[in-house]
Chain A
Amino acid sequence: MTVMRPHAEQLFADELAALAAEDDRPRPPGWRLSPQAVVTYLLGDGGKITPKYVGPRRLMEVAVATLATDRALLLLGVPGTAKTWVSEHLAAAVSGDSTLLVQGTAGTAEEAIRYGWNYARLLAEGPSPAALVSSPVMRAMETGGIARVEELTRVPSDVQDTLITILSEKTLPIPELGGEVQAVKGFNIIATANDRDRGVNELSSALRRRFNTVVLPVPATADEEVDIVARRVAQLGRSLELPEVPPALEEIRRVVTVFRELRTGLTEDGRTKLKSPTGTLSTAEAISVITNGWALAAHFGDGTLRPRDVASGIVGAVVKDPTTDPVVWREYLETVVRERDGWSAFYRAARDA
């Protein structure tokens, strides 16, 4: 029984080891690699180290410099711009452990961020360090690792504010025991937040000030997006152990084009304006559409990725709201897809989907 999705530090263990072996630059206290090596790990070096993030180099440099100066990092962006991905890889490269994770939801309570109690022991023996259940953040502070907080803006504001003392004084007071936990050098927090959703609790300005913000953008050009999608699809296909299917760059490009045009509301040649659907049509969704299509082609098709394999995936990604999106999709289909050369097979498949 093997694991579906190994952690970054397990999957890329050899890359990290190779970087650590050749790295002779100074390392900040508690770091496994030097900051320059972490940037190389993230961006790739064109050889053995594969790129984890494809985008402007300066964003990764700011992120790593932030962590190196003991400031907390906040990654912002619309869904699907690799915030969680980058956060995981940053934690893996810097501290070798990306599992100290707090998933922020609307129901996240203080215990998830500070500490909880083993109630049986608490009632039996009274408050004692043994009755304490530490949270990932507390464990990170004790060991000097990187804690990750996902979806910080979904967490209720009062729970968010527990991070303020942790970030400014680097201590976690435990009033019940009359003591505290002080962070060991190398501790830091990487938070991700979504600025597009409803039900978002804005960070208070006191908390916001403790973070350095990096906004991860949507891929700037179609070529960049195709590169990202192709790379990730290949990785996912290998890990899902899908049968070999020749890489269909044309299908990938088609999906990316459809998503970009609907996302920006303008066709690629800039001539026709389009309505945008309610969904975000991010790169991550494009990756899952292609992977889906690959699975369909391998198991139910003839082993080659064809337009009909991706058509239903695309329709599923575009039409999220059953009242308005079908109209948008149909308009796009009839005005743009139908007129395009070489897209007739896709048009027919999409019509039937």
Chain B
Amino acid sequence: MPEHFYGIRHHGPGSARAVLRALDEQRPDVLLIEGPPEADELVRWVTDERLEPPVALLGYAADDPRQAAYWPFAVFSPEWQAMRWAGAHRVPVRFFDLPYAYRLSHDEEAKRPERPADPIGELARAAGYDDPERWWEDMIEHRGAPAFEAIGEAMAAIRAEAEEDPEDLVREAYMRGVLREVRRSHDNVAVICGAWHVPALTAKVTAAHDTALLKGRKKTKVTFTWVPWTYGRLASWQGYGAGVRSPGWYHHLFTAPGEVVTRWLVAAAGVLRDEGVPTSSAHIIEAVRLTEALATLRGRPLAGLAELTEATRAVLCDGDELRVELIGRRLVVSERLGEIPDDMPAVPLARDLAAQQRSLRLKAEALERALDLDLRREIDLSRSRLLHRMRLLGIPWGEPLGGVGARGRSARSGGCAGCRSSRWRWWRRAATARPWPARPPPRSPRPPAPPRRWPR
């Protein structure tokens, strides 16, 4: 029975494209994706146009929302693209990783060996590339190598040398169990998981061995939902997606119809023009030429983010680091925020917050903005109250900049009686304004950070 294993690079646009091509060719009956099985019924939302990435699966203990974890997805994540493909072709999807319920109760703080968080990135670095996605494009897409077989073999070779993480072994045991179950009912199976796991899933292991590994795990009641996410969070994530320091660039690589280098530099020039720095087409032409020249000098067939950044620095920004950082923020990371439909099941607190945001017309965005509130107006007063309440809860959604009083005296904090207006610097963050602190996803090879104390 045909069974295909697609070892992907998490959040890699090259992997996403390769997966789509492979799925079109294979036409599987069922799709198994690395992820928490409790989120299976949330997969149907992926085809809903109102759920716009970047979003994340949020799983939390039902009686203690402080214990939570996130599984982020961007438009260029292979898992996301696979789910959309499955939705369009009416193929059932199952998440087949170890249930989150088992992982919550388990002590994760024990010392775990470091295994490479980004094994495909390691392969790219070994080949002399510092941009793993461009390596993938060059190796696999331009040279037409049979991608996933080669990746599987490479991973087997790397894993033979590396130390095994016990958590990985338990998860892979569960995954193999699900595989056996699915094989009984379905013929044509497609498996999408991190490349690291492919050798373990294709290995011949007995069912008894796997059940033994899974013994003794306690189950906790957990709830799952979709939440909006930002590229900024994706970039600073410490979990399995480590190595995605440039989600804006990956988004560009995935969505640009062609002329990747030119379009990127045009966007960079656009960012500078928005800030009032005159940048002409001649600048862009010269920047493109320098990018290509640098790539040739370094012996790389495709110019990557490093070459683009150097060209931006030398031509568009005149060597000014400040401008380069601006482009880094706006373009390389980019401030994209995902959206979720209104009828998404959510935690009551989050629902209440969303309702209040709507009624006060304080929309959530990932930008920073200065907001002037005139406290004599009912709506601005309510907005000020909401922002103060958020601050009390420890969510710095807005920060008071100080108000100017009616008689010209300035107040230290906005909203004092007698002041006409209060000024707020207001971060329109939504996903980051979670009413509870959360730990990074348990998949991280490094021990997660301790949760923030909830103020009582």
- Chain A residues near B (Cβ < 8 Å): 35-36, 39, 58, 61-62, 64-66, 68-69, 71, 74, 76, 205, 208-209, 212-215
Contact = CB atoms under 8 A, between A and B. Distances in A.
Contact of B310 (A58, A71, A74, A205): A58
Contact of A71 (B278, B290, B299, B321): B290
A333 to B, nearest CB: 34
Contacts of A36: 297, 299
B368 to A, nearest CB: 28
B290 A66 contact: yes
A39 B296 CA distance: 13
B282 interface: yes
Interface string B268-310: 0000000000101011001001100110111100000010001
- Residue of A35, A39, A205, A212 with highest tally of chain B CB at under 10 A: A212
B283 A65 contact: no
A87 B283 CA distance: 23
Contact of A212 (B296, B297, B306, B314): B314
A66 B294 CA distance: 8
Contacts of B342: none
A35 B295 CA distance: 12
A208 B310 contact: no
Contacts of A214: 314, 319
B318 interface: yes
A35 B297 contact: yes
Given A61-B298, A212-B290, A66 B318 contact: no
B318 A213 contact: yes
Given A35-B297, A68-B297, A71-B290, A62 B314 contact: yes
A39 B311 CA distance: 17
B315 interface: yes
A66 B286 CA distance: 9
A65 B294 contact: yes
Nearest to B279: A209
Given A58-B310, A212-B290, A65 B319 contact: no
- The dominant DSSP class at the A interface is helix
Interface of B: 278, 280, 282-283, 286, 289-290, 293-294, 296-299, 306, 310-311, 313-315, 318-319, 321
Contacts of A58: 306, 310
A213 B280 contact: no
B297 A208 contact: no
B258 to A, nearest CB: 23
Contacts of A69: 286, 289-290, 293
B312 to A, nearest CB: 11
A205 B314 CA distance: 14
A68 B296 CA distance: 11
A74 B320 CA distance: 13
A25 to B, nearest CB: 10
B69 to A, nearest CB: 36
B290 A215 contact: no
B277 to A, nearest CB: 10
Given A61-B297, A71-B290, A214-B319, A66 B314 contact: yes
A143 B282 CA distance: 28
Contacts of A66: 290, 293, 314
B286 A212 contact: yes
Given A61-B298, A69-B286, 15 more contacts: A35-B293, A36-B297, A61-B310, A62-B294, A65-B294, A66-B314, A68-B297, A69-B293, A71-B289, A209-B282, A212-B315, A213-B313, A213-B314, A214-B314, A215-B321
A209 B280 contact: yes
B290 A65 contact: yes
Contacts of A215: 319, 321
A74 B286 CA distance: 14
A42 B375 CA distance: 64
